Amino acid sequence: MLLGLAVLAIVAGRLGLSPVPFYLLAGLLLGPGGPFQLEEIGGFIEVGAEVGVVLLLLMLGLEYSPRELASGLRTGWLSGLVDLVLNAAPGVAAGLLLGFGGLGAAALGGITYISSSGVIAKLIADLGFTGNRETGTVLTLLVVEDLVMAVYLPLLAAALLGASIGGAVAAVSLVAAVLVVLLRPRSREPRWTAALFDRSDEAVLLGILGVSLVVGAMADRLGVSAAVAAFLIGLTLSGEPAERAARLLHPLRDLFAAAFFLFFGLQVDVGALGPVVWAAAGLGAATAATKVATGWWAARSDGVGRWGRRRAAAMLISRGEFSIVIAELAVTAGLDERIGTLSAAYVMALAIAGPLAVRAVEAARARARSARRTG
């Protein structure tokens, strides 16, 4: 299995694409209705998937400092609001039209709303966009989306698990309280991070992973998503500790994230893809257009030039890890199985379309520059 995933990662890298859709496709081929079966190691993959989602969100939290989050919220709230309205509404409408019910529609709205930070971060690094003006705009939108997810995920999880309104409010209040503490200006790192990061790499790796899993389990008992708890732990670190933790955890993140996406694909019946293909295609086209509009408007509001606006618009198309996390919550809670199937097809399509759109913009820019020189 690991060798097969390695081959898929190599193929994705050669094509300049994210490996996420390839892992999902592998899961589809190995799951129910697929030509191959991996039932013997299903338990291992399931445990790996649970660790994988914690690591995905932990690493995402490590990418931001509380100061960056607070600044992004102050400067990007209007763009974030436009992003939320334009991109969640198609998912909610589609969920209602497809008969998923209120909770299913809410889940599908989250799936269509959130862009893939992982895919976008890789694009920015691979294409050398770090110093571009539009990169700040894109990152601000991603920060706002992550803040929305920090409230949305525990609320959705509580609703899916049948918690009372009071329990759902308590879960969101807990997350909001933690965010308030994290966003409060402080002059130094928390004591636990200072004590841990004075130790060896081995102690840091085991300590961060252990804290994330234990706190995630405690959060899960309280009705808060373990993934959100991991994200908040990542936010507690900034500067050199965050860089060190990210360096040590990066290989583990890649390993267990691959297991997570594979496990999601394993739960989807290939035979059920047919009825949702056209729905996934239509929803993908609609929300790709709304993300393009969001990126263009936000970049123009920030004074970014024409080509920068196009790059920002194309980068935001990709969906990935968060969309699958939400779909996994919905499927596990026993909602309409079509949500999982539709989400798998939807994420595969947009995780491929996003990088291709960015590269198409860059190719068009190169042609335009070449034409000006020859002219």
Tens digit of each residue's pLDDT (9 = 90 or more) over 120-161: 877 776 777 877 888 888 888 887 887 788 778 777 877 877
**Per-residue confidence (pLDDT) for residue 18, from 0 to 100:** 74
Average pLDDT rounded to a whole number, residues 158-181: 66
CA distances from 3 to 71, 116, 159 (A): 43, 25, 39
CA–CA dist 63, 250 (Å, integer): 12
Encoded tokens for 196 = 């841990």
Higher pLDDT, 89 or 151: 89
Encoded tokens for 45 = 């993959």
Q: Is residue 109 predicted with pLDDT exceeding 80?
A: yes
Higher pLDDT, 111 or 329: 111
Sorted by where each begins, the domain ranges of the chain are 18-374
Segment (H or E) for 375: none
**Domain 18-374 of CATH type 3.40.50.620:** no
CA–CA dist 234, 231 (Å, integer): 5
Question: Of 318, 352, 321, which Cα lies nearest the Cα of 59?
Answer: 321
Tens digit of each residue's pLDDT (9 = 90 or more) over 248-260: 888 888 888 888 7
CA–CA dist 187, 296 (Å, integer): 37
Encoded tokens for 255 = 């390993």
Average pLDDT rounded to a whole number, residues 60-88: 79
Higher pLDDT, 223 or 56: 56
CA–CA dist 69, 142 (Å, integer): 10
Provide the residue type at 171 as one letter.
A
Q: Is residue 57 predicted with pLDDT exceeding 90?
A: no
Tens digit of each residue's pLDDT (9 = 90 or more) over 332-371: 888 888 898 899 889 888 988 888 898 889 889 888 888 8
Tens digit of each residue's pLDDT (9 = 90 or more) over 268-318: 777 777 888 899 999 999 999 999 999 999 999 888 888 999 999 999 998
Encoded tokens for 335 = 């909602």
For tokens 């308030």, the residue is: 180
Q: What's the mean pLDDT when you consider all of the chain?
A: 81
Task: Give residues with Cβ within 8 angstroms of 6, minimum separation 6.
Answer: none
Average pLDDT rounded to a whole number, residues 204-229: 79
CA–CA dist 205, 52 (Å, integer): 15
Segment (H or E) for 333: none
When pLDDT is cut at 50, 70 and 90, the band that residue 164 belongs to is low
**Per-residue confidence (pLDDT) for residue 30, from 0 to 100:** 81
Residues of the chain with pLDDT > 90, as a percent, come to 20
Question: Of 186, 205, 215, which Cα lies nearest the Cα of 54?
Answer: 215
CA distances from 100 to 96, 103, 134, 223, 333 (A): 6, 7, 37, 23, 13
Say if pTM beats, i.e. exceeds, 0.85: no
